Amino acid sequence: MTSLTPISSTLSLRAVAAAALGLLAACTRPADPAASAVPEVKQAVAAADADQFVADINQWREANLPRLSAAFWLASTYINDDSQLLSAKATEEMLEYVTKKVGESRRFAGVDGISKPTQRAIDLVKLGSTLPAPSDPAQREELAKLAAKLEANYGAGKWCHTNAAGQNECLRLQEIEAIINNVELKNTPAQMAEAWAGWHATAKPIRKDYQRFAELMNVGAKEIGFANTGELWRGGYDMSAAEFDGEVERLWGQVKPLYEALHCSVRSKLNEKYGDAVVPKDGLIPAQLLGNMWAQSWGNLYPLMEPYQGVSSLDVSASLKKMRDDELSKIKAAFKGKPSVVQLADMEHQADLAMATRMTRIAEDFYTSLGMPKLPDSFWTKSQLVQPRDRDVVCHASAWDFDLQHDDVRIKMCIEPDEENLTTIHHELGHIYYYLNYKDQPPMFQSGAHDGFHEAIGDTVTLSLTPKHLQTIGLVSDVKQDERAVINEQMKLALDKITFLPWGKLVDQWRWRVFDGQIAPDQYNAGWWKLRAAYQGLAPPLARSEDDFDAGAKYHIPANTPYTRYFLAFILQFQFQKALCDAAGFEGPLHQCDIYGNAEAGQRFMAMLAQGQSQPWQDTLEKLTGTRQMDASAIIEYFSPLMKYLEEQNKGKTCGWNPGA
């Protein structure tokens, strides 16, 4: 992700590939009432046909995944009209194949004698598409072209304005984020609001396109038996859509008090810094002040929020930036003569690539310490690790699996030398190592137990990047283990992990309401900010109207990537970590556990990953944790020291907020 919180996973057209190649696009039809009267020999033939149906899909995936993935990779790493055309054609080809197989899958409803693996594969065909396509070829082609256009608009987005020096400049997202991130707390609220508005304006051109995109997906969803696309998405969790809604609400209820306590403390500190005119003592926080373009994680506010100033250095970014500068110094020292401007730019690029590679090696080392294999050589030659100097790319971080033999796995990032990017790399390699661990499953089962599992793997690993671990690998110094140091450490992590939770839930709440009509097209922006006020307690920095399309400024909306998976992942990662720490024999506080190099934890982890999507996620979860239910108690346990601290800090303050304020 372009210096984003590690919530990335896969790119939109890559997600299209996963959905289409996985053939997850229909619903269960009522059984034929005459099925029981079919002679046994026909039942046996039908069961055999079902086996062949699944075998054909697996074979098609193996034959076509490399070619189609190449088209999507090109569209993300070389943004132009030609690559958009290729990706749109690839999407259209896949959607046509999906539509055909959806129709064929219906003939197996109610048939006896189908084996459990075959029935599960057929069920996956029935319940999982993120891009349901209409059966009409013209509409299907239109949907594919819109998918490519929406993604390209995001990747090419720039804010062009007159800077303080009176010069016209156009900034990419990474450069705009540097203003919003405000890591030195020097930018004014007005400066950050201007930058915030500049990026959000890049989504305005796609508002009408997104409306049509949603309409076409709903056509496809209805054709295969769902009320709308949102109902289809919620049906892919080995439970009904209604049951899934209940699970998400239950989990949110568990973690909501953590967020509200942190929100109260942050609002108080921002009020002290900027005054009542900018941040009210008991109202909504302006979204541009939280150190992230989307206010989805607030880690850049740590210098403001640090509970005990100077107790234990946690500045990983400073260490990484120094390493990068050292790389540049070595390159310059090896150059004879005075370099030209072009040569200096090339040296900068070499230093960026060397540092990005070094950071990726650090992440790889953690996984190999658990017994997992080294990344293939092709990973290092084919991955995009830095922003190319000569073209626009989609910098949003993503992990790619080009073939089902897993000889070609890659990540696509524009890595910067800071802690956020180091965490993101660990996250993306979590996807890669999931691919490598379930490689022996049939192609139809080569996916996460559910999509939240896939997002949680790398994040689980990052929970072991404790201050002690970071000191061991030379990224921090002066690490203390007293109570004050623990509170500092927990505050730093909570500003990323806890603040994300309501955001992780609300993105799809908005989208599902768009799909089912509760939020009409003429209320897209109002509906977006109503949810952000309700869940996050945030307000836009500037007046907004229905000319704006602020939801579209978040990658996953134009990318059509479901987002609740990230909310689930932020719950599951702590649940996984607790189980792995128990397996490792760790007996201390959960927040101090580091599973690096523990063979038993590694074996338990890999055993879970190897299951892929071959069985209901409840079975896979039980194998690792001993329970069949997602549960937030581990995250509550993990942050218990911070919660006690916040309770003391918030005494006498008016916490909470009025969403309508």
Q: Is the dihedral of CA 84, 87, 91, 93 positive or negative?
A: positive
Answer whether 10's CB lies under 8 Å from 18's CB.
yes
Chain-centroid distance of CA 354 in Å reads 26
Give 325's contacts (C-beta < 8 A, 6+ positions apart).
351
- Contact predicate 288/542, CB 8 Å: no
Torsion angle (degrees, nearest 10) of CA 349, 353, 359, 364: 170
Structure tokens at 518: 């509760």
The whole-angstrom separation of Cα 450 and Cα 244 is 12
One DSSP character per residue, 261-328 reads: HHHHHHHHHHHHHH-TTTS-TTSPEEGGGSSSTTSS--GGGHHHH-SSTTSS---HHHHHHHHHHHHH
Yes or no: say if 148 and 87 are a contact pair by the CB < 8 Å rule: yes
Binding residues for chloride: 237, 565
Please report, in range form, the residues annotated as the binding site for Zn(2+).
427, 431, 455
Cβ–Cβ < 8 Å for 231, 240: no
Q: How far apart are CA 94 and CA 25, in angstroms?
A: 12
Binding residues: 237, 427, 431, 455, 565
CA distance 288 to 180: 7
Residue 617, Ramachandran bin (φ over 0: left; ψ between -120 and 50: alpha; else beta): alpha
Question: Does the active-site annotation cover 428?
Answer: yes
Which residue type sits at 366?
F
HSE-up of residue 655 (Cα within 13 Å, Cβ side)? 18
Sequence-distant (6+) residues with CB within 8 A of 184 are 303
CB 299 within 8 A of CB 496: yes
- Angle subtended by helix axes 12-22 and 81-105, to nearest 10: 30
Measured distance CA(64)–CA(62) in Å, rounded? 6
Record the tokens describing residue 312, joined without a space.
């234990």
| Cross-strand pairs, 410 | 400
Q: What single-letter amino acid sits at 245?
A: D
Q: Measured between alpha carbons, how far is 390 from 77 in angstroms, rounded to an integer?
A: 11
Give the whole-angstrom CA distance, residue 484 versus residue 492: 12
- Residue 457 CA to residue 432 CA, distance in Å, equals 10
Q: Exactly one of 200, 426, 454, 556 is catalytic; which is it?
A: 556
DSSP class of 384 = B
List, in sequence order, the alpha helices (H) in 182-206.
189-200
Annotated catalytic residue: which of 428, 450, 454, 489?
428
Instruction: Decide if 606 contacts 372 (C-beta within 8 A).
Output: yes
Q: Match 């049906």 to its residue by tokens.
A: 235
Catalytic residues: 428, 556
